Amino acid sequence: MTTFALATFAVLLALAALRAPIFVWSAAVGVMGASWAVILGFGATTNALLAAAFLGLALALNLPALRRRLLSDPVLAVYRRILPDMSPTEKEAIDAGTVWWDADLFSGRPDWERLLATPAPRLTAEEQAFVDGPVEEACAMANDWEITHERYDLPPQLWQFLKEKGFFGMIIPKKYGGLGFSALAHSEVVTKLSSRCNALAVTVMVPNSLGPAELLLHYGTDEQKNHYLPRLAKGQEIPCFALTSPEAGSDAASIPDFGVVCKGNWQGKEVLGMRLTWDKRYITLGPVATLLGLAFRLYDPEHLLGGHEDLGITCALIPTATQGVNIGRRHLPLNGAFQNGPNWGKDVFVPLDWIIGGPEYAGRGWMMLMNSLAAGRSISLPASSAGGAKALARVTGAYARVRSQFHTPIGKLEGVEEALGRMAANAYMMEATRVMTAGAVDQGEKPSVISAIAKYHMTEGARACVNDAMDIHGGKGICLGPNNWVGRGYQVLPVGITVEGANILTRTLIIFGQGAIRCHPYVLREMRAAKEMQGEEASREFDDAFTAHIGHTLANGVRTLLHGLSRSMFATAPITAAPETRHYYRHITRLSAAFAFLADVSMLAMGGALKRKEKISGRLGDVLSMMYLASATLKRYEDQGRLKADLPLVRWSVRRALHSAQQAIDQVLSNFPVKALATLLRWIIFPLGMPFRPPLDSRNRECARIALEPGAARDRLTAGIYLPKGEADATGVLETALLATVACEPIEKKFREAVKSGALTPRSGADTAQLARDQGLITAEEYAQWQRKEALRKRVIMVDDFPQDFGRAEIVRKLLDDQPARAKAA
């Protein structure tokens, strides 16, 4: 009997795991039920009653019409009652964009072979030439200290250079005079620029991200495109996009800025137009913009357009020279020095055909914004964060080798090593995410959930990196000046955290909230059946999605348990993946099943309240995100040819992602509102306890070594950033000092050992190396080499000091001398 009970249990698990159709379930349950009746020896009456009950249930489940009437329709009725109504703006946000690898991770069965078969993103020769040429040149022209302390702006010649070389038209097709770059190229340009100067990167990012050009490309009329796109491409127009107002930040759909459709006089003629009133703030490039992309709510009280009174959010292009437009004042965003400021207008009359897309796009602004958000969000901030992280890993590794305390390079002290190793692995994972995400955009995706994941985790990754870098640099990172390569990055970092969906909101509301609807294989279908369909159509669609949903949840639950009991041994991994990383794929497959199951049970247990339970949904979002970041890391390892030297970075970051995902699940379970369900879930998800440990210290050491050691692995880790040539620049001196330090280590070892053995006695105030040379312990050439290294080391560790006025008087004189050049550039 025990054997048969076990066999019954195994068959049920197998049916669930394999998502057997209902008729197979019915047949199997019928056969097993009959066998149990024989084994247990029930009487004829009991057998007849049980058989009748079984047949009734089987018929109800197998006959769709009956199933709908008895099961799905009542569930649909309850679902309709509890499903919160969605505002049109929420619906447009949900519908926007596409899903990609996130849907695989949400399914519980990621198709790894498909991911690995995606070609590694590559630049064209022309794009590479641009990165190696004009981008390199723009970086060389940007002196971050001069920009952030003296000018609070890019120098006029750099503005001019950016315009002439087409930096503002990377996303504009060639037929309009733009560069027509791929998402990867666009991302590569921003990566390099941001490794040099944040203000430079932001200035280039904004015209290429969500704004006039992007909106015109998708929705503009031919006339608007033909007029504006060539001008934007060549920098003859400087665009900005103004959505945020003092009362509406994260809740941007509630902007109070408005327009009223009316007739008015325009260039001597009466035309149909809008009277606009707005008050915006934080608008990047606003103070220097010539073309203002403006979002406002449009009303038509006199029904001049024939439709509703409240038409909804609308986007228009307003030349800033238009009478009544107030622009030009500046905010000072953490010394970022990129142009940013408020703008406003009251009752400014403009023609209706200034609406992007013309009058028929009145009220469709939110849809336009939501649909255009994903591409830019996949590129700009991920690229600037990856550029920052790679640059920080490079300079911090170098500094930690050049700077010694306790007679040891600080990078070899375990505490510092821990932070440095973390930075290196972080930079690897961020770069992997940047490239994979930009690659998805180049495949035609507009990945709404993935872009939120990339935006949130890359800006947080950059924050972690800059915090580590600051700690490692100590006072050197704190005293600002031209010789500080970390401090400005530290200051300006929160800007990325705040813009394009502030991070707390992105993590706790968007990633899982949008993911659960968009990436889930059935939820959106169920919602549409409930809210957008009626009668027979709704009943059929809901029944189809709902029954499949039950099978999906059961399958993931059983697979989660089996993967837990077998420690992921039988979970899917791609046979084409490197053997040394295959177990990671298996673990992610296990996590994916667990996540899909947990997400379903959470939605079932909490329903619409889950949206408000941001602590829970934030953690569920973390699980999805960690799987995405780990997938990107594994893909990068494959795309780069499985370079063994990079394996510590892969291992550290994937293990950390697995561990973080596990901790997030643990916290969801610990805070789950239905305690009995939480216990059951924990038993299913972690039947043998929590399997993933944080990365090992030994692995962390290997990662730190990559940042400390000049060579191919370090160059690969930091590829794509700007490297100053020569010693004119502080980071150029640092690179040279690193090489000199490494070259001098054997020399230092000689006289250290001589001191230890007593062959050399250091004297206070005397140069030990000189004594070593005098005693013939090192050669004259070695001494000269050591002296040069010392000179470089001193330059590296020095910090800047200033006159009482921080040189302001001198700066003002210099800027006044610059007036003619500035006027020309403007």
Ligand X SMILES: Cc1cc2nc3c(=O)[nH]c(=O)nc-3n(C[C@H](O)[C@H](O)[C@H](O)COP(=O)(O)OP(=O)(O)OC[C@H]3O[C@@H](n4cnc5c(N)ncnc54)[C@H](O)[C@@H]3O)c2cc1C
Indicate the residue among 505 and 550 with the shorter CB distance to ligand X: 505
Residue 614 binds to ligand X (criterion: CB under 6 A): yes
Residue 512 binds to ligand X (criterion: CB under 6 A): no
Indicate the residue among 8 and 250 with the shorter CB distance to ligand X: 250
**Alpha carbon of 116 to those of 53, 430, 442, 590, 680: distances in Å?**
49, 18, 16, 18, 35
Q: Is 352 exposed, middle or buried (0-12, 13-18, 19+ CB in 10 A)?
A: buried
Q: Identify the residue among 178, 235, 239, 333 touching ligand X (CB under 6 A).
A: 333
Angle at CA 666, nearest 5°, toward 660 and 669?
Answer: 145
Residue 244 binds to ligand X (criterion: CB under 6 A): yes
* CB of 357 vs ligand X, minimal distance in Å: 19
* CB of 495 vs ligand X, minimal distance in Å: 4
Piece in contact with ligand X (CB under 6 A), picked from 214-222, 230-238, 282-290, 600-608: 282-290
Strand partners for 239: 291
Residue 241 binds to ligand X (criterion: CB under 6 A): yes
Indicate the residue among 245 and 633 with the shorter CB distance to ligand X: 245
Residue 90 binds to ligand X (criterion: CB under 6 A): no
What three-state secondary structure class fits 155?
coil
Sign of CA dihedral 450, 451, 457, 461: positive
* CB of 299 vs ligand X, minimal distance in Å: 21
Indicate the residue among 138 and 243 with the shorter CB distance to ligand X: 243
The candidate with the shortest Cα–Cα distance to 28, out of 7, 53, 3, 52, is 7
Q: Are strands 258-266 and 291-299 parallel, antiparallel or unpaired?
A: parallel
Q: Identify the residue among 272, 504, 517, 739 touching ligand X (CB under 6 A).
A: 504
Residue 86 binds to ligand X (criterion: CB under 6 A): no
In whole angstroms, what is the distance from residue 714 CA to residue 646 CA?
Answer: 9
Indicate the residue among 50 and 502 with the shorter CB distance to ligand X: 502
In whole angstroms, what is the distance from residue 336 CA to residue 490 CA?
Answer: 10
Residue 744 binds to ligand X (criterion: CB under 6 A): no
Q: Identify the residue among 495, 598, 760, 792 touching ligand X (CB under 6 A).
A: 495
In this structure, what are the phi and psi dihedrals at residue 282, rounded to the nearest 5 degrees? Answer: 70, 25
Q: Identify the residue among 160, 491, 498, 663 touching ligand X (CB under 6 A).
A: 498
Piece in contact with ligand X (CB under 6 A), picked from 19-27, 66-74, 235-243, 721-729: 235-243
* CB of 279 vs ligand X, minimal distance in Å: 12
Q: Identify the residue among 26, 385, 508, 560 touching ligand X (CB under 6 A).
A: 508
Indicate the residue among 32 and 502 with the shorter CB distance to ligand X: 502
Give the burial string for 338-351 (b: 16+ CB within 10 Å, else e): bbbbbbbbeebbbb
Piece in contact with ligand X (CB under 6 A), picked from 146-154, 239-247, 545-553, 709-717: 239-247
Tokens of 271: 């035309």
Indicate the residue among 182 and 503 with the shorter CB distance to ligand X: 503
Residue 250 binds to ligand X (criterion: CB under 6 A): yes
How does DSSP assign 494-507, residue by residue?
Answer: HHHHHSSS-HHHII
In whole angstroms, what is the distance from residue 229 CA to residue 281 CA?
Answer: 25
* CB of 334 vs ligand X, minimal distance in Å: 8
Residue 536 contacts by C-beta under 8 Å, 6 or more apart in sequence? Answer: none
* CB of 96 vs ligand X, minimal distance in Å: 17
Indicate the residue among 67 and 364 with the shorter CB distance to ligand X: 364
Binding-site size for ligand X (CB under 6 A) equals: 21
Q: Identify the residue among 208, 340, 372, 484 touching ligand X (CB under 6 A).
A: 340
Contact 469, 486 (CB under 8 A): yes
**Alpha carbon of 699 to those of 332, 410, 644, 706, 735: distances in Å?**
42, 18, 13, 11, 25
Indicate the residue among 506 and 700 with the shorter CB distance to ligand X: 506
* CB of 619 vs ligand X, minimal distance in Å: 14
* CB of 485 vs ligand X, minimal distance in Å: 22
* CB of 808 vs ligand X, minimal distance in Å: 24
Indicate the residue among 240 and 562 with the shorter CB distance to ligand X: 240
Angle at CA 800, nearest 5°, toward 794 and 806?
Answer: 165
Piece in contact with ligand X (CB under 6 A), picked from 110-118, 241-249, 361-369, 774-782: 241-249
* CB of 548 vs ligand X, minimal distance in Å: 32
The candidate with the shortest Cα–Cα distance to 415, out of 742, 745, 701, 706, is 701
Q: Identify the residue among 233, 389, 465, 499 touching ligand X (CB under 6 A).
A: 499
Piece in contact with ligand X (CB under 6 A), picked from 29-37, 237-245, 619-627, 729-737: 237-245
What number of residues does the chain have?
A: 826
Strand partners for 270: 265
Residue 249 binds to ligand X (criterion: CB under 6 A): yes
Strand partners for 340: 284
* CB of 560 vs ligand X, minimal distance in Å: 29
Sign of CA dihedral 484, 486, 489, 494: negative
Piece in contact with ligand X (CB under 6 A), picked from 221-229, 280-288, 302-310, 312-320: 280-288
Q: Interface mask (CB under 6 A) for ligand X, residues 525-564, using x and -?
A: ----------------------------------------
* CB of 204 vs ligand X, minimal distance in Å: 14
Piece in contact with ligand X (CB under 6 A), picked from 90-98, 100-108, 133-141, 502-510: 502-510
Indicate the residue among 103 and 255 with the shorter CB distance to ligand X: 255
Piece in contact with ligand X (CB under 6 A), picked from 222-230, 376-384, 500-508, 538-546: 500-508
Indicate the residue among 439 and 461 with the shorter CB distance to ligand X: 461
In whole angstroms, what is the distance from residue 577 CA to residue 575 CA?
Answer: 5
Cβ–Cβ contacts within 10 Å for residue 715, how many? 11
Residue 195 contacts by C-beta under 8 Å, 6 or more apart in sequence? Answer: 139, 387, 388, 390, 391, 720, 721, 722
Residue 491 binds to ligand X (criterion: CB under 6 A): no
Contact 437, 378 (CB under 8 A): yes
Tokens of 82: 């509890």
Residue 284 binds to ligand X (criterion: CB under 6 A): yes
Closest residue to ligand X, judged by C-beta, is 249
Q: Identify the residue among 103, 185, 193, 243 touching ligand X (CB under 6 A).
A: 243
Q: Identify the residue among 83, 505, 643, 815 touching ligand X (CB under 6 A).
A: 505
Q: Is 416 exposed, middle or buried (0-12, 13-18, 19+ CB in 10 A)?
A: buried
Strand partners for 296: 314
In whole angstroms, what is the distance from residue 509 CA to residue 613 CA?
Answer: 9
Residue 279 binds to ligand X (criterion: CB under 6 A): no
Residue 617 contacts by C-beta under 8 Å, 6 or more apart in sequence? Answer: 508, 509, 512, 513, 516, 610, 611
* CB of 240 vs ligand X, minimal distance in Å: 6
Indicate the residue among 182 and 506 with the shorter CB distance to ligand X: 506
Residue 213 binds to ligand X (criterion: CB under 6 A): no
Alpha carbons within 13 A on the beta-carbon side of 769 = 18
| E strand or H helix at 355 | none
Positions annotated as catalytic residues are 500
Piece in contact with ligand X (CB under 6 A), picked from 243-251, 518-526, 755-763, 794-802: 243-251
Contact 706, 424 (CB under 8 A): yes
In whole angstroms, what is the distance from residue 50 CA to residue 649 CA?
Answer: 60
Q: Which residues bind ligand X (CB under 6 A)?
A: 240-244, 249-250, 282-284, 333, 340, 495, 498-499, 502, 504-505, 508-509, 614
